[in-house]
Amino acid sequence: MAKSLFMSIATLVILNVTGLNLLAADAPKANADRMEARIIGLGEFGKNADGGVDRVAFSDADIAGRNHMIGLMKTAGLEVHVDYAGNIIGKRAGKNPALATITFGSHIDSVPGGGNYDGDVGVMGALEVVDLLNEADITTEHPLEMIIFTAEESSMIGSRAFTGDLSKRTLDSFTSPGDRRDGLDRIGGDHTRLKEVRPTNPVHAFVELHIEQGGILEQKNLNIGIVEGIVGISTWPVKVEGFANHAGTTPMPGRRDALVAASKLIIAINERATRMEGRQVATVGRIEAFPGASNVIPGTVEFSLQIRDLDADKIQHLFEVIQQEAKMVEVEMDVKISFGTSGVPAPALTDIRLRNLIEQSAKDLGLTCQHMQSGAGHDAQHMAHFTPTGMIFVPSRGGISHSPNEYTSPQDMANGADVLLRTILKLDETIFTEE
Amino acid sequence: MAKSLFMSIATLVILNVTGLNLLAADAPKANADRMEARIIGLGEFGKNADGGVDRVAFSDADIAGRNHMIGLMKTAGLEVHVDYAGNIIGKRAGKNPALATITFGSHIDSVPGGGNYDGDVGVMGALEVVDLLNEADITTEHPLEMIIFTAEESSMIGSRAFTGDLSKRTLDSFTSPGDRRDGLDRIGGDHTRLKEVRPTNPVHAFVELHIEQGGILEQKNLNIGIVEGIVGISTWPVKVEGFANHAGTTPMPGRRDALVAASKLIIAINERATRMEGRQVATVGRIEAFPGASNVIPGTVEFSLQIRDLDADKIQHLFEVIQQEAKMVEVEMDVKISFGTSGVPAPALTDIRLRNLIEQSAKDLGLTCQHMQSGAGHDAQHMAHFTPTGMIFVPSRGGISHSPNEYTSPQDMANGADVLLRTILKLDETIFTEE
């Protein structure tokens, strides 16, 4: 079920299946109160004093939250199992077992000091879809799978394993949340069998509902974002080398201050990324001066440069412009500037047919929408290289995420679940011509 | 013996004392080889792999080095005792016990990863003076005291205690080298009796020989620096507050990036300090961005601002100029910038009579010299508030200090010792009129 099989084919074949009543204008809609109550219920696991949540992957809070979700999924009639990567998978049989599986879901792990909506909204939206199907007594043609991916906020370990893209390097990272192999085993996975995680049965598509984590939908007063793709993220370590010296005995002229040089480059990065046409962003988020004492002129400064865009060529072009700026700073300030190797989550485009289904679903429901890129990473970016993938955004208040102040209204969540359900039902009516 | 007693009186009374033969043109000179050998010998205590020394105050290496020096001082016939602040004091009786004591010395503790010349040259120069007096069989009129101050590189604990200027805050600091009260007791002091350290017998003057720690003497090919004073050092914590947000989902326009704002201010600080007439310096040596992740726009940046000058008004003026720059950055970048309270080692001027004696001594010896400020702090800055104080600089190769690459040639060290001896002998001939 490699992506290439699908991407060249844009024609759809419409099947005649059940579930049509939920596509009717007067069909039952997602229950906003139920979704809100479930969000609050899940928020108890890892709840912190700031009103947010600390539910980092593999933590006790994560494990408790996972067990809570497994219970809810079983109550909804799903046949639940945990794969070797700890992904929680709830199966709902289809009428035609020969058809490929329609998958949908998100994650419930959080960043440290995170909020209650990032990931959780997509999971509760998926569960709402199952409940709505149950309540309407509908069996789809295709088998369905609701998936809660493991450790999205910690290198997306679950979706990487699911799509066969989990490297030893990712597993070796101890940055967060400690020993990842041990963590996988603790949540019911088996780190020695990760190569067996990738499904061997065919997958029809994947759809993820998620909060926008940006402020565009709110600012434009729109209900739904149709995600064109997840931006590529290139992050370079940058090193500026001047000459460390005594801050008292070294006159101002002739100093080779690495921090003054770094400051010039940081401003240039910001200006170039801002002035260039397009949606690219460039950020310096981390900086350290060495030796780092108030009475020593910094001899070395290290900082991170991160560029994101949906177009890999655009990332490269902006990087080259920044390298030119660095050369000018080198000459002006008598320093040496070097760029390390960038990490490369490449841009991941969603499937154009899925975008169309999502757009049509939103319009059917009378919801306003626009196409947009996702500046944040998501499990969907790995799924997009594995199966036709679509992604639905709902508004984030103030564009805030990864914070206790993260918030999406119950109605926005319900809108998202409605679009997710409709998209799945339309997918169920559809067979991509190779199948 | 408060400084104020002396500073208003510039007239000198010449006494007729011994030691004149060492002021003669053909008198024996300091032994450069002996000084070099002693520097290398002391460098064994705390020697590190980089060819430098880790002899942080109160460490085992410091204690071993102190014992080594006590041995050398006793061998030179000094009557050695350790005061309650751990200062090592070697007394040499004068002919006239009623006269005030002439003091001279420096320190032997180092910064972590320091060199073999900062402090050590002044101590070995002081010892050389004692040896030269011994070899010429000279007894001065005034009693002499060679002093090795405690923990110069850790808040100058010894000279602060000696001059009655040691605060609880300084003692409470754990930044380096751990519990300071415990450290004082470990080196033979008594932290419960620090108020008794300040001498009650009269002190005639203090003279310190030290390496320049800057590159001015070397660049101008001069032998001796006559220190006009030790610069005041004001260090402010600066906080820039913008708004932390997702580096992927937040478009470039509308970002309130605290690091871009901080960069603009850092450049302005550098330019203003450079363009202003005078010898002031301003340095940003430490910086931290919060939350400090490559994928988050910095919401807060904290950095240090340090300004040094011999004139406190100049420091204040430059600080006000920088505050104006900060106001402009606040408006341009939509951030808030605040300055904390500065630490205040005020500028400390040396005694003009001592400067003249040092200059005359250098010229008598055929050495080239110039008046200059000390951009670095020294024990002499505390002594200057206590007794007429002079300070002699010798060149530092490449202006480097606080580094294993620190170096001063044997001949430069010997030149410094010769000027120190001559200055002490001239002081011995002199009585300030109040005594």
pLDDT in tens, A206-235: 999 999 999 999 999 999 999 999 999 999
Tens of pLDDT along B347-388?
999 999 999 999 999 999 999 999 999 999 999 999 999 999
C-alpha angle B324/B327/B328, rounded to 5°?
95
Which of B259, B279, B280 is opposite residue A284, by nearest beta carbon? B259
As a whole number, mean pLDDT of residues A157-174 equals: 90
Which of A118, A217, A252, A342 should we substitute to test contact with B (largest number of B Cβ atoms within 10 Å)? Answer: A252
As a whole number, mean pLDDT of residues A95-103 equals: 94
Q: Is some CB atom of chain B closer than 8 A to the CB atom of A214? A: yes
Look at A376 and B249 and tell me if their CB atoms are within 8 Å. yes
User: Is residue B11's pLDDT more than 60?
Assistant: no
Burial of A321-353, coded b for 16+ CB within 10 Å and e otherwise, reads bbeebbeebbeebebebeeeebeebebbbbbeb
Identify the three-state secondary structure at position A338.
strand
**Domain presence at residue A360:** no
pLDDT at B17: 46
If you search the block for the tokens 């002079």, which residue do you land on?
Answer: B390
Which of A259, A283, A306 is opposite residue B287, by nearest beta carbon? A259
If you search the block for the tokens 């204690």, which residue do you land on?
Answer: B63
Structural domain span for residue B283: 232-339
The answer to whether ipTM exceeds 0.90 is no
**Domain presence at residue A21:** yes
Q: Is some CB atom of chain A closer than 8 A to the CB atom of B220? A: no
Look at B260 and A247 and tell me if their CB atoms are within 8 Å. no
Secondary element (H or E) of residue A308: strand A300-309
Q: Is some CB atom of chain A closer than 8 A to the CB atom of B333? A: no
As a whole number, mean pLDDT of residues A53-57 equals: 95
Residues B427 and B326 in one domain: no
pLDDT at B2: 40
C-alpha angle A41/A180/A169, rounded to 5°?
130
Residues B278 and B364 in one domain: no
Look at A247 and B294 and tell me if their CB atoms are within 8 Å. no
Which of A111, A175, A283 should we substitute to test contact with B (largest number of B Cβ atoms within 10 Å)? Answer: A283
**Domain presence at residue A357:** no
Q: Last residue of a domain, which of A316, A339, A362?
A: A339
- Strands B430-432, B12-14: parallel, antiparallel or unpaired by DSSP? antiparallel
How far B290 CA sits from the closest chain A CA (Å)? 8
Q: Is some CB atom of chain B closer than 8 A to the CB atom of A155? A: no
User: Is residue A40's pLDDT more than 50?
Assistant: yes
Residues A129 and A45 in one domain: yes
How far B429 CA sits from the closest chain A CA (Å)? 34
| Residue B251 structure tokens | 């478009």
If you search the block for the tokens 């579930």, which residue do you land on?
Answer: A19
Q: How far is CA B290 from CA A233, B296, B304, in A?
A: 20, 9, 15
Question: CATH code at B377?
Answer: 3.40.630.10
As a whole number, mean pLDDT of residues B128-153 equals: 96
**Domain presence at residue A354:** no
As a whole number, mean pLDDT of residues A283-288 equals: 97
As a whole number, mean pLDDT of residues B132-141 equals: 95
Q: Last residue of a domain, which of B339, B367, B393?
A: B339
- Cα gap A71→A267, rounded to integer Å: 51
pLDDT at A10: 37
Residues A218 and A256 in one domain: no
* Interface list for B 384-423 with A (CB within 8 A): 399-402
Residues A291 and A332 in one domain: yes
Q: Among all residues of chain B, which has the CA nearest to that of A238?
A: B294
Q: Is some CB atom of chain A closer than 8 A to the CB atom of B381? A: no
Q: Is some CB atom of chain B closer than 8 A to the CB atom of A266? A: yes
Q: Is some CB atom of chain A closer than 8 A to the CB atom of B168? A: no
User: Is residue B343's pLDDT more than 60?
Assistant: yes
pLDDT at B58: 95
- Beta-strand (E) ranges in B22-87? 79-82
Q: Where is pLDDT greater, at B12 or A100?
A: A100
pLDDT at A13: 45
Q: Is some CB atom of chain A closer than 8 A to the CB atom of B59? A: no
How sure is the predictor about A12, in pLDDT bands with cuts at 50, 70 and 90? very low
> How many Å separate Cα A178 from the centre of its chain?
21
**Domain presence at residue A273:** yes
Q: Last residue of a domain, which of A339, A356, A389?
A: A339
pLDDT at B398: 92
> How many Å separate Cα B374 from the centre of its chain?
8
Look at B274 and A264 and tell me if their CB atoms are within 8 Å. no
Residues A101 and A214 in one domain: yes
Look at B274 and A282 and tell me if their CB atoms are within 8 Å. no
How sure is the predictor about B119, in pLDDT bands with cuts at 50, 70 and 90? very high
Q: Is some CB atom of chain B closer than 8 A to the CB atom of A292? A: yes
How sure is the predictor about B5, in pLDDT bands with cuts at 50, 70 and 90? very low
Q: How many Cβ atoms from other residues are within 10 Å of residue A220's Cβ?
A: 12
How sure is the predictor about B174, in pLDDT bands with cuts at 50, 70 and 90? low
Mean pLDDT for all residues in chain A: 92
Residues A281 and A305 in one domain: yes
User: Is residue A327's pLDDT more than 60?
Assistant: yes
Residues B18 and B124 in one domain: yes
How sure is the predictor about B173, in pLDDT bands with cuts at 50, 70 and 90? confident
* Interface list for B 104-143 with A (CB within 8 A): none
* Residue A318 and residue A282 in contact, taking contact as beta carbons nearer than 8 Å: yes
Number of CB pairs, chain A paired with chain B, less than 8 A apart: 191
**Domain presence at residue A363:** no
Q: How many CA atoms lie within 13 A of B211 on its CB side?
A: 32
pLDDT at B346: 85
Look at B285 and A266 and tell me if their CB atoms are within 8 Å. no
Is the backbone of residue B334 left (phi > 0), alpha (psi -120 to 50) or beta?
left
Residues B237 and B285 in one domain: yes
Question: CATH code at A321?
Answer: 3.30.70.360
Q: Is some CB atom of chain B closer than 8 A to the CB atom of A167? A: no
Look at B249 and A212 and tell me if their CB atoms are within 8 Å. yes
Q: Among all residues of chain B, which has the CA nearest to that of A113?
A: B291
Residues A317 and A397 in one domain: no
* Interface list for B 23-52 with A (CB within 8 A): none
Residues A92 and A31 in one domain: yes
Percent of chain A with pLDDT over 90: 82
pLDDT at A19: 47
Tens of pLDDT along B194-238?
999 999 999 999 999 999 999 999 999 999 999 999 999 999 999
User: Is residue A14's pLDDT more than 80?
Assistant: no
Residues A400 and A335 in one domain: no
Mean pLDDT for all residues in chain B: 92
Q: Is some CB atom of chain A closer than 8 A to the CB atom of B298? A: yes
- A270 vs B contacts (CB less than 8 Å): 252, 257, 260
Find all residues with CB under 8 Å of A416, minimum gap 6, and list them. Answer: A121, A122, A125, A209, A224, A392, A393, A394
Which of A249, A274, A298 is opposite residue B252, by nearest beta carbon? A274
Give B152's strand partners.
none
Residue B5: exposure state from Cβ atoms within 10 A (0-12, 13-18, ≥19): middle
**Domain presence at residue A158:** yes
pLDDT at A17: 46
**Domain presence at residue A348:** no
- Beta-strand (E) ranges in B15-157? 79-82, 88-92, 101-107, 144-149
* Count of structural domains, chain A: 2
Tens of pLDDT along B263-295?
999 999 999 999 999 999 999 999 999 989 898
pTM of the shown model: 0.81
